[in-house]
């Protein structure tokens, strides 16, 4: 896939959720606002290859903890019949500014990859899970510039099928990172520190629905995992 930065940025549009999407869960209202930046970029990349919609989980990472360093972000992912898309991890680093005026310093959504405004290694190649797969570790690594002011990250499912995510991990310059405000293992009732939702290439997730939430029947470790599931067109979520 050919994907230049100008094309990616020109594809950005306002994010909205349908009233039928799962209610977002977060301990910080700012996290939901900042996550829209990622959703707009992801839409621009997704619309050219996989269609208009995707389910996602998003959190805000404390930029001050990673400025000027290299992060490695990973998660264990299990999939069932994922077609016309993939399940993967994503990370976005913004520079100084406010809202949509912040420059994008680095971005990776397990397909599109940019560093300092230029395509990085693996850009345009799906590096997430497809089809039906057992628990498998997926990861990405990105630099966090010295001017970074905002970081959003999480997991996503494009196309159809179901994906489970568990045991997320962040390493900064090779050292494990922990934060009591972020439930990397999805063991809390509402995935503390994260929001759930649906994004699309249009203003709303028209015709495509994703059910995203905690699953207490499947896990890689502990007792729960995060489940993202495509609900076929026109179906009603319960």
Buried b / exposed e along 60-73 (16+ C-beta atoms within 10 A): bbebeebeebebbb
pLDDT for 197 equals 80
Determine the length of the chain.
Answer: 238
Q: How far is Cα 226 from Cα 14, in angstroms, rounded to an integer?
A: 26
Looking at residues 65-69, what average pLDDT do you find? 97
pLDDT for 47 equals 36
Looking at residues 137-143, what average pLDDT do you find? 98
By DSSP bridging, strand 209-215 and strand 225-231 are antiparallel
Looking at residues 14-40, what average pLDDT do you find? 37
In whole angstroms, what separates CA 127 from the centre of its chain? 13
The residue among 215 and 32 whose pLDDT is bigger is: 215
pLDDT for 164 equals 98
Cα–Cα separations (whole angstroms), residue 192 to 62, 65, 179: 15, 19, 11
Domain residue ranges in the chain: 5-231
Kindly indicate the confidence band of residue 224, based on its pLDDT and cuts at 50, 70 and 90. very high
Averaged confidence pLDDT in the chain: 78
Kindly indicate the confidence band of residue 98, based on its pLDDT and cuts at 50, 70 and 90. confident
Residue 234 has pLDDT above 80, yes or no: no
Kindly indicate the confidence band of residue 148, based on its pLDDT and cuts at 50, 70 and 90. very high
Looking at residues 122-136, what average pLDDT do you find? 97
- 110: closest CA among 172, 171, 46? 46
Instruction: Let me know: does 208 contact 200? Beta carbons within 8 Å.
Output: yes
pLDDT for 143 equals 97
Query: Per residue, what are the HEC states of 87-123?
Result: EEEEEEEECCCCHHHCCEEEEECCCCEEECCEECCCC
Residue 37 has pLDDT above 90, yes or no: no
Looking at residues 153-175, what average pLDDT do you find? 96
The residue among 42 and 68 whose pLDDT is bigger is: 68
Instruction: Let me know: does 4 contact 33? Beta carbons within 8 Å.
Output: no
Q: What is the pLDDT of residues 48-60, one digit of tens each?
A: 344 457 899 999 9
Looking at residues 22-29, what average pLDDT do you find? 36
């Amino acid at each position: 896939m050919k994907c230049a930065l100008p094309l990616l940025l020109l594809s950005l549009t306002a994010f909205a959720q349908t009233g039928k999407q799962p209610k977002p869960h977060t301990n910080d209202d700012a996290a939901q606002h900042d996550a829209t930046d990622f959703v707009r970029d992801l839409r621009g990349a997704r619309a050219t290859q996989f269609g208009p919609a995707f389910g996602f989980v998003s959190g805000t990472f404390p930029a001050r903890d990673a400025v000027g360093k290299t992060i490695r972000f990973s998660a264990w992912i299990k999939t069932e019949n994922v077609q016309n898309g993939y399940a993967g991890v994503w990370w976005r680093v913004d520079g100084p500014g406010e809202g949509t005026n912040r420059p994008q310093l680095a971005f990776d959504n397990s397909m599109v990859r940019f560093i300092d405004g230029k395509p990085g290694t693996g850009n345009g190649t799906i590096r997430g899970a497809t089809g039906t797969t057992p628990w498998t570790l997926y990861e990405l690594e990105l630099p966090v510039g010295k001017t970074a002011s905002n970081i959003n990250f999480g997991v996503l499912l494009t196309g159809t099928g179901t994906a489970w995510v568990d045991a997320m991990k962040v390493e900064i310059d090779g050292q494990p990172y922990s934060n009591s405000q972020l439930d990397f293992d999805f063991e809390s009732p509402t995935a503390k520190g994260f929001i759930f939702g649906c994004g699309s290439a249009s203003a709303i997730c028209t015709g495509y629905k994703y059910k995203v939430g905690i699953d207490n029947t499947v896990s890689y470790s502990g007792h729960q995992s995060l489940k993202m599931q495509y609900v076929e067109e026109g179906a009603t979520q319960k």
